[in-house]
Amino acid sequence: MLKVDFLTLIFIAIFMQPILMGAFTKFSREKIRFSLWSLCEGLEFILVLFLAIYLTRGIFFQHNPGLFAQIYNGIPEEIRILLFGQDILIYIIVVPLVVWLFRVLIGLITHPIYNAVLGPLSNRLYKLLILIGSGLERIIGALAQIPRAAVLVFASALLLNFYAYYFPAPRLVQMMSESNGYQFIYKNAVSPVLNSNLAQKIPVLVNDHFRQNAVSDSTNDRVITYFNGATLDEAVKSDSQIDSTVRRVVGSEQNERQKAYLIYRWITQNIKYDDQKAAQLSQDSSGINSGSIMAFNTRMGICFDYASLYVSMCRAVGLKVRLVTGLGYSGLSWGDHAWNQVYVPKEGRWLNVDPTFGTVNNYFDNKISLLTIRIPKCRGSGNADHGCVLRHT
């Protein structure tokens, strides 16, 4: 049995509202017809919604060979680049459009059928219910609203999940994580339906620091303490192996932007996220080694290690770089995160580079960075400018 909390009560109220209206609406032929129509349209909407999500997921995320791949490749390249990696945005934009299109098309077939069938059927039920009594009529009216109630609850949980993505209020995130009702709906409906790449793969350090502090707190100092007391300069130290590797990776390339990208690509392809370390750090950061050399030697690390190694490798080939800490979105919740910014003189700007998230999607100077990171605080790294030029609030 679900423990009743505030969010659970809200979901119960959302579910019960159409059911109670169906049960206590005045008894009439029109009410019976409306209940039957509502039942049919509710089932139709559920079918169309899940079909729209299935198609959206297949086209934009899975790209399976065949029809899905053909449709995806037929989308203009500019749109594909704009939407690449933006799971939440795709669902918000594409699914409603597909649902609307399918409902219009299906409605051309089903609505004439409803008009032809439901009118005579409601008349027969009306005569039958007069003989039986209003009790059964109320039960039928309530049951007919169950599909609509289920859709409302699902849509509410989905919107809450999306809202937490764009407006990550600590209190709301905590309520969502502690609500048995929301977690039940998420695990059994929202997560299986979305099957989001972001929610499945992107790692952030979720801990009580974020849940207990306001979003306006831009220090995020726990990320910095994760390298076990070493200074930032110690964490980004390089050695001969790192230096020789990055020179080989960059080769004869002279363009700063391309050099920065080659380093980013090498790290995303060669360093694996250390889930065990992340889980341990959420409890106790003592006795754990972090930083560039450790990440390079073990080929594993957490976000801070990825970011430190990127600093080391960039500095070895003369790039101006800095380490940034803030909040990152995993697809489920916000947590402590570290990434980088690298300066490109020819463009006169700092580029957001996230080697950790880059293991999932393209996070090199990509607009998705603005949707998955919040409240950055720039950390010095020897040759880096200490002032932040971005505020994602």
Structure tokens at 197: 């790449």
Q: What is the pLDDT of residue 81?
A: 67
Instruction: Note the pLDDT tens digit of each residue in 112-160.
Output: 888 888 878 877 777 776 666 667 767 777 887 888 888 889 888 888 8
Structure tokens at 12: 């119960």
Q: Model-level pTM?
A: 0.53
> Which residue reads 């919040």 in tokens?
374
Q: What is the pLDDT of residue 392?
A: 29
Tell me the CA end-to-end span of the chain in Å, nearest whole number.
38
Q: What is the pLDDT of residue 200?
A: 43
306-316 CB burial, b ≥16 within 10 A, e <16: bbbbbbbbbbb
Q: What is the pLDDT of residue 314?
A: 96
Q: What is the pLDDT of residue 177?
A: 76
Cα 304 from Cα 297, distance rounded (Å): 15
Give 3-state DSSP helix, strand, coil % of the chain, rounded to 5.
65, 10, 25
Q: Which residues of the chain are modeled with pLDDT < 70? A: 1-3, 26-28, 62-64, 81-88, 129-134, 137, 165-170, 192-230, 282-287, 329-335, 366-393
Q: What is the pLDDT of residue 27?
A: 65
Q: At what angle do helices 87-132 and 146-166 cross, to 10 degrees?
A: 160
> Which residue reads 């490749």 in tokens?
73
Instruction: Identify the structural domains of the chain with CATH numbers, from first to last.
Output: 6-197 (no CATH), 208-379 (3.10.620.30)
